[in-house]
A and B are shown apart, each in its own frame.
Chain A
Amino acid sequence: MSASVELQDVCADFGNFRAVDKVSLSIEAGEFFSFLGPSGCGKTTILRMVSGFVSPTAGTISIGGKDMRDQRPNQRPTALIFQNLALFPLMPVWENIAFGLEARGIDKKARRQRAEELLALVDLPDAGDKAISQLSGGQKQRVAIARALAVEPSVMLLDEPLSALDLKLRQHMRAELRAIQKRTNVTFIYITHDQGEALAMSDRVAVMSHGKLQQVARPREIYDNPANGFVAAFVGESNIFNGTLASRTHELGTFQTENGVFEGRLGPGIDDSAKLYVRPENVRLAGAATASNSIAVEVTDIAFEGNFISIRTVDGSGRIIVSEARNDGAGLVPDPGAKLYATFDAAKAFILADEFTAKPVVAA
């Protein structure tokens, strides 16, 4: 039932503003695929183009190998879950769910039966006759999912549907969505600005900025091997060092900064904009300096975050370096004022170009 989605050099212009710039990628049938990026990066426009509410200015979109040009939203095998859900408040729950079937001319008894099946699927039995206003936020979420599933779409499009929920419910719904996707095996395209959601649920993630794809990869790859500075800075935290590339040997480079010379792995397309990125959890604090990648620092601040402890330090030049330690009782937590060395592995530091503005990088 699921279908692949293919974008070929897709552009979207609003007046002089280019919201989506030459995006090409293919989403496999049955995949849980996320677009991740800050607001205004063009991810919602992509979703609206796939669903048919916006026409691409250039490029083609095909679903299941079929070109979607000139197909109205009501002719496409997609179902969209809106950010505000857009449930019909004047219809009871079951009529909401069965609306797509009603539009297909299925008789009332069969509609009702299908609605009940879907309510069971989303774990809301006996809610069929309730009014939308009687439901809680999480229940409305489920009704919206059931309503979209009712039309048996090949591709399900989700526009930040969890953003209105509180933290606990959001985490619960994440698992729920993922389970529903696995059960139904429908292709899910998920839009979010929340990296946690994207990384936790997706098979693959596309990171976007300024209408361009920055990286398309599995969540692990995105986090562990960011393709450029934008991805490294947007997904997760990073200590960022300005400087210049002094020398390079194969994958490693030597980076000259104000705070010293560091070694790190080279990303693709290094230019003058390159910076060095080190994740806080890869910064260790030790009593003695190491042979390389070591900075003398003084601890200034300890922030207890529950599952981890964030340690802010400052070096001689006043630069702040953040280190994170797991709160597993194994490591010693230094006191503020302690003089230590911040060190990191060359393999865990990245020398990366800024965001891609010309040519997007697509990795499998």
Chain B
Amino acid sequence: MNDLVNRYGKTLTMTICVLTTFWLLMLVIAPNLYLFENSFRLYLPVRDVGGPKDVYTLKNYLTFLQSPIHITVFALTVMYSSIVTVICFAMAYPLAYYLAKKASPKHLPAIFLLLTVPLWVSEIMRSFAWFIILSLKGPLNYLLISGDIIEKPIRWMTGFRSVIIGLVYTYVLFMLFPIYNAVQSLDTNQIEAAEDLGAPWWRIHWRVILPHAKPGIASGSVMVFMLSAGSILVPTLLASTNSRWFTEIIQQWMFESLDWNTGSAYAFLLLILCTVFVTIVLRVFGVKLSDIAN
């Protein structure tokens, strides 16, 4: 603190501290606390708020447990988010390895630019773009048919297919960069040493590179999984009639039923259950939280 004051002067230091505190308290912690508190209260007509009926209860949370459809949707959300995470890993790992160890440093800036340029376009635009690409008479089917790869157009937007495609596209870079950083920090001599000792390429990856990249893979996976499970835009835009995402149910509670109390309970359930799920998966793969922080 004294260090900061010496470097930036009293006024600037105080301003920065006050602003940071305001952001944390008022814009992050307070709204969440408000929702958390509300999730334990009943959805009541305005005249009953603060009256004898306004008591703390677990009823909103029990609503979830008593509704098999919501539980199914939650399970599907977790399952398909996991699939998205696995696909992202399968796509990002080879690319990360290539960028970190094979690509010439001369080309790296250009490749990274190409990778990040799509992020300059807003997520809603990109999701709409996929909506057009994947539509029945859209460019993807047109290309596949004119390339004689398929005969009849494929209905992409059915089931969770389009949602998975959209989520992978939106979040794959969140997997790429942590893995890239992890692989890059591996001493190339270790790869050469493994090869020199007679190991084929797949064993080098399995025994040397993957274990080293594990923290990066873990943090990338946690990010992609949590973002996917919590995504509302992609599942809404690219959904089909038979794909429901858990966030859509939260939205229904809040904006269609106008029941913010049950909506908040569902939102916290999503957070808590996903955190539990992630913790279990990390435990299974033997990753410590401190590894990810590194």
Contacts and interface: CB of A to CB of B under 8 A. Distances in A.
Given A90-B212, A103-B203, A79 B187 contact: no
A75, A80, A150, most chain B CB atoms within 10 A = A80
Interface string A60-75: 0000000000001111
Nearest to B193: A86
B187, B189, B197, B211, most chain A CB atoms within 10 A = B197
Contacts of A99: 194, 197, 199, 207
Interface residues of A, number: 26
Nearest to A144: B193
B68 interface: no
Q: Is the interface of A mostly helix, strand, loop or mixed?
A: mixed
B109 interface: no
Interface in B171-193: 187, 189-190, 192-193
Interface in B199-240: 199-200, 203, 207-208, 211-212
Given A73-B192, A84-B189, A103-B203, A90 B198 contact: no
B256 interface: no
Contacts of A103: 194, 197-200, 203
Contact of B208 (A79, A80, A88, A150): A88
B195 interface: yes
Given A88-B208, A90-B211, A90-B212, A100 B190 contact: no
A48 to B, nearest CB: 9
A151 B189 contact: no
Contact of B197 (A52, A72, A151): A151
Contact of B196 (A73, A84, A102): A73
A53 interface: yes
A51 B196 contact: yes
B269 to A, nearest CB: 37
Given A73-B192, A88-B207, A102-B207, 5 more contacts: A78-B196, A79-B196, A88-B208, A102-B203, A103-B194
Which 9 A-B pairs give the minimum distances between C-beta atoms?
A86-B189, A100-B197, A103-B199, A86-B193, A103-B198, A74-B198, A80-B196, A82-B189, A90-B211
Interface of A: 51-53, 72-75, 78-80, 82, 84, 86-88, 90-91, 99-100, 102-104, 147-148, 150-151
